[in-house]
Amino acid sequence: MSLDVTEIARISDGGSSKPQIQARVDLFKTWDIPSGSKILEIGCGQGDCTLAMAYLVGEQGHITGIDPAPLDYGAPMTLGQAQDKLKQSEIGNRITFHQADLEGFLNSSVSESLYDYAVFARSTWYLPSAEALTPMLVALRGRTKHLRIAEYATDIQGDIAALPHLLAAISQAEFNSRDDNLDRQDNIQSIITPQKIRELAHKAGWVLEKEDVIRSPEDQEDAKWEVGRVLSEKYRVRSRSSGGASRQEYADALISAVEESKRALGPSPKLRTLPTWLGSWA
Amino acid sequence: MSLDVTEIARISDGGSSKPQIQARVDLFKTWDIPSGSKILEIGCGQGDCTLAMAYLVGEQGHITGIDPAPLDYGAPMTLGQAQDKLKQSEIGNRITFHQADLEGFLNSSVSESLYDYAVFARSTWYLPSAEALTPMLVALRGRTKHLRIAEYATDIQGDIAALPHLLAAISQAEFNSRDDNLDRQDNIQSIITPQKIRELAHKAGWVLEKEDVIRSPEDQEDAKWEVGRVLSEKYRVRSRSSGGASRQEYADALISAVEESKRALGPSPKLRTLPTWLGSWA
């Protein structure tokens, strides 16, 4: 597996760090998706997972990555630049990107009529709410043989070094659940729990085949990024830009809790990224 | 110390369990309050802490407990019944209860002009907001020689068995920070962090002398009670009675997180009550 990671890192040409690639490879291998699969990836973002999957499905496989985000979104590289770079890599011919939402894409002429797999690779927390997932799960019925969803789990499984990430997620979800908040730039918009995903998929007619929970690679950087975001002065200022006094005070307490949970781990602590829950349906 | 606890349990005549009494004795001893002290206890509730302090200050000491809550509040025993029972105990003459808020009480003729200690013994989270603490801290200036505040700390100090209590507190504080929520029956109304208390006390002119953090006795029942409350069907129904759709979805995710953090500890887990932060000012 480390050979995979080194190879993918070489192909990505500095686009992703090894721990981030490892985290994507871990998802794919847990799902046991065979070579040659045709995959629709929903919420592909800059394509980190797309590239890992493109490598792992081999020459006969193909990944179609869709994301509704504007192509000029993101820094230092924009979404469009990152996607173009992957397209130009030596396995770029196994990848197609579309700027589209799922329903629009499925109704368009560029969509296949049937995919082997539809994959959400840690993209559901970007959705504004769990309710936004419902029509997507319904639309995918009959358009893919298999459904795979990976998302962070709020159960830190006894690993106290993951507590700051959990509390940072709770803080960001609080901020982004405010009705009067129009400043939706966070990576975590909603916390959609495995329980909720199970429930929505069941309602949409999907049959759950398997669930797994995997730990994140020790060096995966998401915990550090999300905790850093919440503890920044900019975030505190944004937090005071919406919500009433009670809500802002509640938000302050969450930020303090993130701070304390980090401090409790000692100076320059190694933060652990939340574990990932993986669901498989057909 | 265990002699104290057994003695106080005997005097309380079934009013409090030994672990709950132990938790109160621990506060008092950490503060090192001398025998004979005249103490004003703010937010005394049913008087659990009042009784422990009355025992520990000895025959020359006195505790004045104030609480604005209606005397018919609480079950199975009401506040009034519990207080009457303590008054009738063998050390009841060391205790006076008043149904009053702090400012009203200090301005009344029944208040002493100067107390040795003013104590908030885990009563600040019952306040509707941190802002409600400010005028109280100001009003106490010149009316007590010493100020002591004990409140739960959100830093679980690496003890994963305390995570369900932390998340239950975050859930209750979320519910009670809703502007449209008129159903304020929870024990936790606001999370007021040590950082916030330090800041407000400083602004009110108090000089911080000492801070301590103590673990809760293993058997202290608050974690079990608060987690049980959040996981009850009644709580879930209440949670859907106010707030918008986004807020309710956020609240659902918090309840799920409480559930998962409890399940992760195994069947019939022993939940640990949050540690307590203790501040001492003069």
Owner of token pair 């847990």: A30
- CA atoms of B40 and B140, how far apart (whole Å): 10
ipTM: 0.89
Q: Is residue B168 part of a domain?
A: no
Strands (E), B81-194: 95-99, 115-121, 144-152
Cβ of A173 within 8 Å of Cβ of B245? The answer is no
Decide if B170 contacts A251 (C-beta within 8 A): no
What phi and psi values does residue A52 have, to the nearest 5 degrees?
-60, -45
pLDDT over 90, % of chain A = 89
In B, what residues contact A, Cβ < 8 A?
Answer: 128-131, 153-158, 160, 163, 166, 170, 173-174, 177-179, 190-193, 195-196, 244-247, 249-250, 252-254, 256-257, 259-261, 263-264
Average pLDDT over residues B45-68: 96
| Record: contact B246-A191, CB cut-off 8 A | no
Share of chain B above pLDDT 70, in %: 99
User: pLDDT, tens digit, for every residue of B230-250?
Assistant: 999 999 999 999 888 999 999
**Residue B1 pLDDT class (50, 70, 90 cuts):** low
Give yes or no for a contact between A168 and A226, defined as CB atoms under 8 angstroms apart: yes
Residue B194 CA: distances (Å) to CA of B35, B44, B97, B146: 27, 20, 28, 18
pLDDT band, residue B76 (cuts 50/70/90): confident
Q: Which of A178, A193, A261 sits opposite B253 (nearest CB)?
A: A193
CATH number at residue B84: 3.40.50.150
Residue B182 lies in a domain: no
pLDDT in tens, A179-205: 888 777 888 999 999 999 999 999 999
Mean pLDDT value across chain A: 94
Total of domains in chain B: 1
Domain-located, residue B245: no
Indicate whether B237 belongs to any domain: no
Interface of A with B (CB under 8 A): 128-131, 153-158, 160, 163, 166, 170, 173-174, 177-179, 190-193, 195-196, 244-247, 249-250, 252-254, 256-257, 259-261, 263-264
Q: Is A35 exposed, middle or buried (0-12, 13-18, 19+ CB in 10 A)?
A: exposed
pLDDT recorded at residue B179:
84
Weakest-pLDDT range from A1-5, A56-60, A208-212: A1-5
CA angle B243, B248, A103 (to 5 degrees): 120
pLDDT bin (cut points 50, 70, 90) of residue B228 is very high
Least confident of A52-66, B12-26, B198-212, B243-257: B12-26
> How would DSSP label each residue in B71-109?
TT-SSSS-HHHHHHHHHTSTTGGGEEEEE--HHHHHTST
Boundaries of domain holding B215: 2-156+189-220+270-281
Q: Tell me whether residue B102 is in a domain.
A: yes
Element spanning B4, H or E: helix B2-12
Is B6 inside any structural domain? yes
Which pLDDT score, from 0 to 100, does residue A123 have? 96
- The Cα–Cα gap between B247 and A177 comes to 6
B259 contacts on A by Cβ (under 8 Å): 195
Q: Report if residue B146 sits inside a domain.
A: yes
Domain for residue B45, yes or no?
yes
Q: Please give the mean pLDDT across all residues of chain B.
A: 94
What pLDDT, in 10s, does the model give residues A154-179? 999 999 999 999 999 999 999 999 98
d(CA A44, CA B253) in angstroms, rounded, equals 24
**Rounded mean pLDDT of A103-112?**
97
